């Protein structure tokens, strides 16, 4: 489970910090006096790290080292 | 504005402090109480990633291209989730295989290849040298700025060529750092190549640089301006600064962004210094958990003020008088904040030194272990194989490598100085280590990757890297013809190093990275398919790829197998009963009524049943074999190599197990035999003890009986004559004396046997002992008219090592024995000392009746004399000789008797000159064992 969540987060990171999402925020505007892109980058970065900490520090019960349950039937 | 001396003093105080931290870390590690065994230290040490490039260069980059400096930190952040998969795997493999560097890692994966290890080392050194040069440049420039500001002439002296070699600050910085790195990373050799002190220092430096950068950021944002809003709005008044706050919406800008993110993802994994701190220096795999999210958090903190500082710098120094790379330092200087400026300088120094120390240590380990030593060991003329002590040589190589790497960096710095910004130099290094990516990632996740693929991919990628990235920088520095960067070599435009085959419009780094990785990956994959892995490669591939516990082989059986076939299979391996039980359990779980005789017909022949059968078989024949066996029923797919390897692995383990079992069994048998022997011995001892007690009581009864008899006579006859009474009393006293002597000797013997190892070892002169013993007996002998002659060679002390009192007792026992048995009328005793090289022999001869041959063997046994008719009527306990024998055996000597009946007897003993403890540890003296005398030479001397 942990393994899958981490991979999903990696994909999310790739999307958050690349074209085209970045280009949406690359506008000459200010929120609370701070450029939108600058604000977006650091906010997304902080949120990303927060998610990362939650997943990584989750209790070991969801660790990927636990064997998978029996495979589903094919019939 | 700042004195050069002040800065130097601050730097040295700081470096001293750093060394103290490292020393403390090493001491704690030696004491077994590691301070770095802590997830926070681990996370901080990962921040060695942030170098002078981050500290000074990010601002410079932000001032010219805006936010794209962030890609270098976003890449590692995006990758961080995967650390749990990739880095954990690398840690596990490295711990298991005792890997100490990235060169070791790659070489191990591809069949422990020395050639590959050497190649990786060369690439790493070539790639990291520019990076170290960057640190030198940062330190020397920041020093110049701090000490000459506001004399801006020095700052705009971009060419740098004017500075003579010996006046170049960077040279001294390089030498000083070499010294420091030797002290931190190559002071002594450690088998695990772990440097706890160094890591502690690096973690400390990570804190310092973060604090310094945050301090200057806060000062600029809230001191020079009224917060972010004020700073940004003022900057937004200028069009060129406004542009820095957004990204130009063009394909090339976003392409560059993606490439740089990708590049930094590879760098964070494969930079030798990151490998060192993240993998080699990792104490506990669990620390990775904190590191994974704390490190990106650190990156956020150290980057949050970069853009504000860059914008402020652009506003404060609009005319370009100050290099943007130095804004961080110039702003506090400009606003007359000397303390802050010193702090910033120290922060930059921290960032640079941490990188240099770890990177050169890692490189020196590689150069030594993977480049120089393999060559030296193969050079037969040096005969290194025969030398046992190589520590000195190894340390020498390490230290010289450190110095050479730093000097190379200095040379690089001199060559390209002024042509490149900090960031563009660093990116060249990133692209170099990215060449490790195919070999390592492929090696960790693709078993088919081969040595040839890794080696040729790496070398080709490296060549393309060298051609597209550092070569143009040499050309710009004038080392290669300038036309090389303008038109391509010999005017061939399609070979232009920044637009290979016409791929134009990319930044040099993205361009170089693309082509080098294309060639690298292409050759790696292509050659891997074309070549066959050797056996070593194959087993290493399995060790690497399967390093993390794989979730159970989640095969979904596709085919259909009949229940009958599966059942036959199970019976064959498990036996009929176990097979039926196993199937019954499955049927019950499926809700089939197993009480009916036809329940087996209701079993569904589906994948679940096959999986169940596989699990049943796994218990008996191992998972790999079980998988194959079930597969053989389901479909007739031929075995592939991997399955065969799996089976071999398991079989090998089983063989090892059964060998172990065999060994244990043999040991057990031996132990049983020993126990039986010990038991027999104990029984024998018990019997002897009983004999002894009955003999002693018998001996005690004899004198007691006579004492009682005479006492009764006197009691019953009060009218006995005084003369007779006197005579009877004499007998009583004599018998009582005999009783006392007997008891004393029994006690003596028991004491000897109870504490046999208490021989005091000291030099003893046997001559003196003879004299003393004879002296003690002389009165008695004179009274009985016995003459005693002592024959000792002149001046011979007869010194041996032993216990003085006990040896004297031996002599006294022998003398009194001789005295008792010597001729009644003309008693003569001769004591002779013979001195030899190894021992001293003493003979005590008497002229008594002698001992019968058949008695000579048992004369030393307890109470032997009492049983001997020839000695009847003599007064003795019968223990004297036993005690003498025991003492002599304790001294590792011999004692024996020679006698011809009718012509007297000679008792002899030897004592070795030096007292050696019995090497077997269970020699005769150690065991209170009367049977020992049976096997001792003392009882059968005449052979």
In 3D space, the residue among B151, B141, B328, B138 whose CA is nearest the CA of residue B224 turns out to be B328
Q: How far is Cα of residue B86 from the mean position of the Cα atoms in its chain?
A: 24
Mean model confidence pLDDT for chain A: 79
pLDDT of residue B617: 79
Q: Which of B77, B245, B608 lies nearest to residue A38, judging by beta carbons?
A: B245
Contact B34, B400 (CB under 8 A): no
Q: Which of A10, A14, A68 lies nearest to residue B552, judging by beta carbons?
A: A68
pLDDT of residue B156: 45
CA distances from B501 to B468, B495, B497 (A): 12, 6, 9
Q: Is A55 on the interface with B (CB under 8 A)?
A: yes
Nearest CA in chain B to A21: B254
Nearest CA in chain A to B262: A14
Please give, rounded to a whole number of angstroms, the shortest distance from the CA of A59 to a CA of chain B.
11
Comparing B450 with B112, the larger pLDDT belongs to B450
Q: For the CA atoms of chain B, what is the radius of gyration?
A: 46
Q: Which of A6, A34, A68 lies nearest to residue B81, judging by beta carbons?
A: A6
Nearest CA in chain A to B612: A70
pLDDT of residue A25: 86
Nearest CA in chain A to B80: A10
The strand pairing partners of B829, in sequence order, are: B788, B846
Comparing B891 with B861, the larger pLDDT belongs to B891
pLDDT of residue B720: 82
Taking CB atoms and an 8 Å limit, are B606 and A75 in contact across chains?
yes
Tell me the backbone φ, ψ of residue B492, rounded to 5 degrees: -80, 105
Please give, rounded to a whole number of angstroms, the shortest distance from the CA of A56 to a CA of chain B.
6
From chain B, pick out residues whose CB is under 8 angstroms from the CB of A7: 81-82, 85
Q: Which of A10, A38, A64 lies nearest to residue B81, judging by beta carbons?
A: A10
- Tokens representing residue B159 in the block: 């060419």
Please give, rounded to a whole number of angstroms, the shortest distance from the CA of A40 to a CA of chain B.
11
A with B: how many residue pairs have Cβ under 8 Å apart? 134
Comparing B591 with B43, the larger pLDDT belongs to B43
Which residues fall within 8 angstroms of residue B101, CB to CB, at 6 or more apart? Answer: B193, B272, B275, B276, B280, B362, B365, B366, B369, B370
pLDDT of residue B482: 74
Question: From the CB of residue B375, how many other CB atoms can be counted at a distance below 10 Å?
Answer: 11
B721-777 tens-digit pLDDT: 888 888 888 888 888 888 888 888 788 777 777 665 556 778 888 888 888 888 888
pLDDT band at B81 (very low <50, low <70, confident <90, very high): very high
Nearest CA in chain A to B78: A13
Question: From the CB of residue B662, how many other CB atoms can be counted at a distance below 10 Å?
Answer: 10
Nearest CA in chain A to B299: A45
Q: Report the distance separating Cα B553 and Cα B573, nearest Å.
A: 21
From chain B, pick out residues whose CB is under 8 angstroms from the CB of A9: 81
* Residue at A23 is within a domain: yes
Q: Which of A33, A52, A71 lies nearest to residue B292, judging by beta carbons?
A: A52
The strand pairing partners of B790, in sequence order, are: B831
pLDDT band at B647 (very low <50, low <70, confident <90, very high): confident
From chain A, pick out residues whose CB is under 8 angstroms from the CB of B79: 10, 13
Model confidence at B606: pLDDT above 50? yes
* Residue at A75 is within a domain: no
The strand pairing partners of B564, in sequence order, are: none
Q: Is A21 on the interface with B (CB under 8 A)?
A: no
Taking CB atoms and an 8 Å limit, are A68 and B551 in contact across chains?
yes
Taking CB atoms and an 8 Å limit, are B556 and A72 in contact across chains?
yes
Q: Which of B249, B258, B293 lies nearest to residue A52, judging by beta carbons?
A: B293
Which residues fall within 8 angstroms of residue B76, CB to CB, at 6 or more apart? Answer: B49, B264, B265, B267, B268, B295, B296, B299
pLDDT of residue B270: 92
Q: Is A30 on the interface with B (CB under 8 A)?
A: yes
Comparing B934 with B504, the larger pLDDT belongs to B504
CA distances from B190 to B185, B193, B231, B397, B766 (A): 10, 5, 52, 14, 55
pLDDT of residue B119: 92
pLDDT of residue B557: 59
Q: Which domain holds residue A22?
A: 2-57
Model confidence at B822: pLDDT above 70? yes
Model confidence at B184: pLDDT above 80? no
pLDDT of residue B887: 84
Taking CB atoms and an 8 Å limit, are B549 and A52 in contact across chains?
no
Task: Report the domain count for chain A.
Answer: 1
Chain position carrying tokens 């906010």: A43
Model confidence at B67: pLDDT above 80? yes
Q: Report the distance separating Cα B806 and Cα B733, nearest Å.
A: 28
- Tokens representing residue B207 in the block: 């804190």
Contact B546, B465 (CB under 8 A): no
Comparing B929 with B115, the larger pLDDT belongs to B115
From chain B, pick out residues whose CB is under 8 angstroms from the CB of A23: 247, 249, 254
pLDDT of residue B836: 84
Specify the 3-state DSSP secondary structure of B199. Answer: helix
pLDDT of residue B925: 43
Over pLDDT 90: what percentage of chain A?
33
Ordered strands of the B828-835 beta sheet: B787-791, B828-835, B839-846, B905-912, B894-899
- Give the DSSP H/E element, type plus range, for residue B543: helix B535-545
B93-110 tens-digit pLDDT: 888 888 888 998 998 888
pLDDT of residue B98: 81
Please give, rounded to a whole number of angstroms, the shortest distance from the CA of A4 to a CA of chain B.
10
- Give the DSSP H/E element, type plus range, for residue A57: none
- Tokens representing residue B724 in the block: 């007779």
Total-model pTM: 0.63
* Residue at A53 is within a domain: yes
From chain A, pick out residues whose CB is under 8 angstroms from the CB of B227: 33
Please give, rounded to a whole number of angstroms, the shortest distance from the CA of A14 to a CA of chain B.
6
If you average pLDDT over residues B841-867, what whole number do you get? 75
In this prediction, does ipTM exceed 0.85?
no
Model confidence at B792: pLDDT above 80? yes
pLDDT band at B422 (very low <50, low <70, confident <90, very high): low
Model confidence at B680: pLDDT above 60? yes
Question: From the CB of residue B476, how many other CB atoms can be counted at a distance below 10 Å?
Answer: 17
Mean model confidence pLDDT for chain B: 81
Nearest CA in chain A to B79: A10
Question: From the CB of residue B11, how many other CB atoms can be counted at a distance below 10 Å?
Answer: 19
| N-term to C-term CA, chain B | 104
* Residue at A70 is within a domain: no
Please give, rounded to a whole number of angstroms, the shortest distance from the CA of B618 to a CA of chain A.
15
pLDDT of residue A68: 41
Domain B4-422 has CATH 1.10.3720.10: no
If you average pLDDT over residues B481-487, what whole number do you get? 74
Q: At the top level of CATH, which class does the domain B755-932 belong to?
A: alpha beta
From chain A, pick out residues whose CB is under 8 angstroms from the CB of B230: 33
Q: Which of A34, A38, A49 lies nearest to residue B296, judging by beta carbons?
A: A49
Q: What does the H/E/C string look like for B280-307?
A: HCCCCCCHHHHHHHHHHHHHHHHHCCHH
pLDDT of residue B783: 81
From chain A, pick out residues whose CB is under 8 angstroms from the CB of B232: 30, 33-35, 38
Model confidence at A64: pLDDT above 50? no
Model confidence at B863: pLDDT above 80? no
Comparing B532 with B824, the larger pLDDT belongs to B532
* Residue at A74 is within a domain: no
B769-784 tens-digit pLDDT: 888 888 888 877 888 8
pLDDT of residue B935: 38
Please give, rounded to a whole number of angstroms, the shortest distance from the CA of A60 to a CA of chain B.
11
- Tokens representing residue B153 in the block: 């002439």
Q: Report the distance separating Cα B80 and Cα A49, nearest Å.
A: 9
From chain A, pick out residues whose CB is under 8 angstroms from the CB of B78: 10, 13-14, 17, 48
CA distances from B936 to B279, B885, B928, B933 (A): 64, 10, 14, 5
Instruction: Give just the sign of the alpha carbon dihedral B698, B704, B710, B712.
Output: negative
Q: Is A69 on the interface with B (CB under 8 A)?
A: no
Taking CB atoms and an 8 Å limit, are B297 and A74 in contact across chains?
no
- Give the DSSP H/E element, type plus range, for residue A19: none
pLDDT of residue B386: 63
pLDDT band at B8 (very low <50, low <70, confident <90, very high): confident
From chain A, pick out residues whose CB is under 8 angstroms from the CB of B84: 2-3, 6, 56
Instruction: Annotate B712-735 with DSSP letters as a single string.
Output: HHHHH-TT--HHHHHHHHHHHHHH
Cα angle B347, B349, B354; round to 5? 100
If you average pLDDT over residues A15-21, what whole number do you get? 87
Taking CB atoms and an 8 Å limit, are A38 and B606 in contact across chains?
no
Q: Is A65 on the interface with B (CB under 8 A)?
A: yes
pLDDT of residue B610: 79
Taking CB atoms and an 8 Å limit, are A52 and B606 in contact across chains?
no
Taking CB atoms and an 8 Å limit, are B246 and A37 in contact across chains?
yes
pLDDT band at B384 (very low <50, low <70, confident <90, very high): low
Please give, rounded to a whole number of angstroms, the shortest distance from the CA of A33 to a CA of chain B.
4
Q: For the CA atoms of chain A, what is the radius of gyration?
A: 18
Q: Report the distance separating Cα B370 and Cα B372, nearest Å.
A: 6
pLDDT band at A49 (very low <50, low <70, confident <90, very high): very high
Domain extent listing, chain B: 4-422, 450-529, 549-650, 755-932
* Residue at A50 is within a domain: yes
pLDDT of residue B465: 93
Please give, rounded to a whole number of angstroms, the shortest distance from the CA of A57 to a CA of chain B.
7
Chain position carrying tokens 């299979």: B569
pLDDT of residue B44: 92
pLDDT of residue B387: 64
If you average pLDDT over residues B116-140, what whole number do you get? 89
From chain A, pick out residues whose CB is under 8 angstroms from the CB of B85: 3, 6-7
Model confidence at B152: pLDDT above 80? no
Please give, rounded to a whole number of angstroms, the shortest distance from the CA of A27 to a CA of chain B.
6
Contact B265, B341 (CB under 8 A): no
**Alpha-carbon dihedral B283, B289, B292, B297, rounded to 10 degrees:** -110
Model confidence at B191: pLDDT above 90? no
From chain A, pick out residues whose CB is under 8 angstroms from the CB of B236: 28, 30, 35
pLDDT of residue B789: 86
Classify residue B904 by its DSSP letter.
-
Tell me the backbone φ, ψ of residue B840, rounded to 5 degrees: -125, 135
A5, A52, A65, best to mutate vs chain B, most B CBs in 10 Å: A52
Burial readout B893-912 (b: 16 or more C-beta within 10 A, e: otherwise): bbbbbbbeeeebbbbbbbbb
pLDDT of residue B435: 94
Model confidence at B215: pLDDT above 90? yes
Contact A48, B296 (CB under 8 A): yes
Chain position carrying tokens 């709005």: B233
* Residue at A69 is within a domain: no
């Amino acid at each position: 489970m942990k393994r899958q969540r981490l991979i999903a987060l990696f994909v999310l990171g790739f999307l958050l910090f690349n074209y085209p999402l970045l280009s949406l925020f690359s506008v000459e505007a200010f929120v609370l006096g701070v450029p939108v892109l600058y604000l977006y980058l650091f906010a997304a970065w902080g949120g990303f790290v927060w998610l990362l900490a939650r997943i990584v520090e989750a209790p070991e019960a969801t660790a990927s080292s636990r064997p998978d349950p029996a495979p589903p039937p094919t019939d | 504005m700042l004195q050069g001396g002040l800065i130097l003093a601050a730097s040295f105080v700081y470096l001293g402090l750093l060394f103290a931290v490292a020393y403390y870390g090493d001491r704690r590690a030696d004491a077994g109480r590691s301070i770095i065994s802590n997830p926070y230290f681990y996370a901080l040490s990962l921040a060695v990633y942030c170098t002078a490039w981050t500290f000074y260069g990010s601002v410079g980059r932000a001032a010219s291209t805006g936010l794209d400096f962030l890609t270098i930190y976003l890449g590692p952040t995006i990758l961080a989730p995967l650390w749990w998969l990739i880095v954990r795997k690398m840690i596990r493999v490295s711990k298991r295989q005792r890997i100490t560097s990235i060169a070791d890692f790659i070489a191990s994966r591809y069949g422990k290849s020395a050639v590959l290890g050497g190649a990786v080392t060369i690439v790493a050194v070539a790639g990291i040298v520019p990076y170290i040069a960057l640190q030198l440049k940062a330190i020397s420039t920041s020093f110049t700025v701090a000490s000459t500001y506001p004399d801006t002439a020095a700052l705009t002296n971009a060419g740098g060529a004017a500075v003579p070699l010996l006046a170049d600050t960077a040279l001294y910085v390089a030498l000083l750092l070499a010294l420091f790195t030797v002290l931190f990373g190559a002071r002594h050799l450690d088998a695990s190549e772990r440097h706890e002190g160094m890591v502690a220092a690096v973690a400390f430096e990570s804190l310092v640089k973060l604090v310094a950068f945050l301090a200057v950021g806060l000062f600029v944002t809230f001191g020079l301006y009224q917060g972010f809003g004020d700073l940004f709005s003022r900057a937004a008044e200028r069009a060129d600064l406004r542009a820095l706050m957004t990204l130009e919406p063009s394909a090339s800008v976003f392409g560059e962004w993606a490439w740089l993110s990708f590049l930094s993802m590879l760098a964070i994994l494969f930079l030798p210094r990151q490998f060192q701190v993240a993998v080699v220096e990792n104490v506990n795999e669990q620390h990775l958990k904190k590191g994974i999210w704390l490190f990106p958090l650190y990156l956020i903190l150290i980057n949050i003020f970069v853009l504000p500082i860059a914008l402020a710098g652009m506003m404060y120094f609009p005319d370009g008088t100050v290099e943007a790379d130095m804004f961080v330092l110039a702003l506090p200087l400009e606003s007359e904040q000397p303390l802050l400026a010193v702090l910033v300088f120290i922060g930059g120094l921290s960032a640079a030194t941490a990188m240099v120390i770890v990177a050169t240590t890692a490189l020196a380990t590689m150069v030594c272990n993977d480049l120089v030593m393999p060559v030296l060991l193969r050079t037969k003329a040096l005969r290194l194989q025969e030398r046992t002590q190589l520590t000195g040589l190894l340390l020498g190589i390490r230290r010289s490598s450190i110095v050479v790497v730093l000097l190379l960096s200095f040379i690089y710095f001199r060559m390209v100085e002024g042509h490149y910004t900090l960031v563009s130099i660093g990116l060249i290094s990133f692209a170099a280590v990215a060449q490790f990516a195919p070999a390592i990632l492929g090696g960790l996740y693709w078993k088919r990757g081969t040595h040839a693929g890794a080696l040729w991919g790496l070398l080709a990628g490296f060549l393309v890297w060298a051609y597209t990235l550092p070569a143009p920088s040499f050309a710009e520095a004038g080392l290669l013809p300038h036309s090389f960067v303008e038109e391509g070599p010999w005017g061939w435009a399609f070979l232009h190093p920044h637009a290979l085959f016409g791929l134009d419009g990319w930044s040099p780094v993205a361009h170089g990275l693309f082509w080098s990785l294309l060639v690298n990956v292409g050759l790696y994959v292509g050659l891997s398919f074309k070549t066959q892995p050797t056996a070593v490669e194959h087993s290493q591939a399995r060790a690497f790829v399967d390093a993390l516990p794989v979730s159970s082989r989640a095969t979904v059986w596709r085919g259909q197998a009949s229940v009958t076939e599966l059942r036959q299979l199970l019976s064959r391996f498990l036996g009929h009963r176990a097979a039926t039980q196993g199937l019954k359990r499955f049927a019950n779980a499926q809700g089939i009524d197993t009480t009916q005789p036809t329940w087996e017909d209701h079993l569904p022949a589906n994948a679940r049943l096959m999986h169940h059968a596989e699990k049943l078989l796994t218990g008996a024949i191992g998972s790999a074999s079980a998988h194959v066996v079930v597969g053989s029923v389901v479909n007739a797919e031929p075995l592939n190599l991997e399955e065969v390897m799996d089976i071999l692995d398991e079989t090998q383990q089983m063989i090892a197990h059964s060998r172990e079992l065999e060994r244990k069994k043999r040991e057990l048998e031996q132990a049983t035999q020993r126990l039986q022997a010990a038991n027999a011995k104990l029984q024998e001892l018990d019997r002897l003890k009983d004999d002894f007690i009955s003999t002693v009581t018998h001996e005690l009864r004899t004198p007691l009986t006579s004492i009682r008899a005479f006492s009764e006579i006197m009691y019953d006859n009060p009218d006995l004559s005084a003369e007779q009474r006197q005579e009877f009393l004499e007998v009583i006293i004599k018998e009582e004396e005999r009783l006392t002597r007997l008891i004393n000797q029994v006690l003596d013997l028991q004491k000897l046997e109870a504490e046999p190892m208490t021989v005091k070892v000291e030099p003893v002169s046997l001559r003196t002992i003879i004299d003393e013993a004879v002296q003690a007996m002389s009165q008695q002998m004179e009274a009985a008219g016995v003459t005693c002659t002592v024959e000792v060679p002149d001046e011979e002390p007869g010194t041996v090592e032993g216990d003085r009192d006990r040896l004297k007792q031996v002599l006294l026992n022998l003398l009194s024995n001789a005295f008792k048995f010597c001729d009644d009328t003309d008693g003569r005793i001769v004591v002779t000392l013979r001195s030899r090289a190894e021992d001293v022999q003493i003979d005590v001869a008497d002229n008594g009746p002698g001992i019968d041959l058949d008695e000579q063997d048992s004369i030393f046994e307890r109470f032997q004399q009492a049983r001997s008719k020839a000695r009847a009527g003599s007064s003795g306990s019968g223990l004297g000789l036993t005690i003498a024998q025991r003492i002599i055996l304790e001294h590792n000597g011999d004692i024996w008797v020679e006698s011809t009946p009718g012509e007297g007897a000679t008792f002899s003993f030897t004592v070795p000159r030096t007292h050696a403890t019995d090497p077997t540890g269970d020699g005769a003296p150690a065991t209170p064992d009367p049977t020992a005398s049976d096997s001792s030479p003392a009882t059968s001397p005449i052979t």
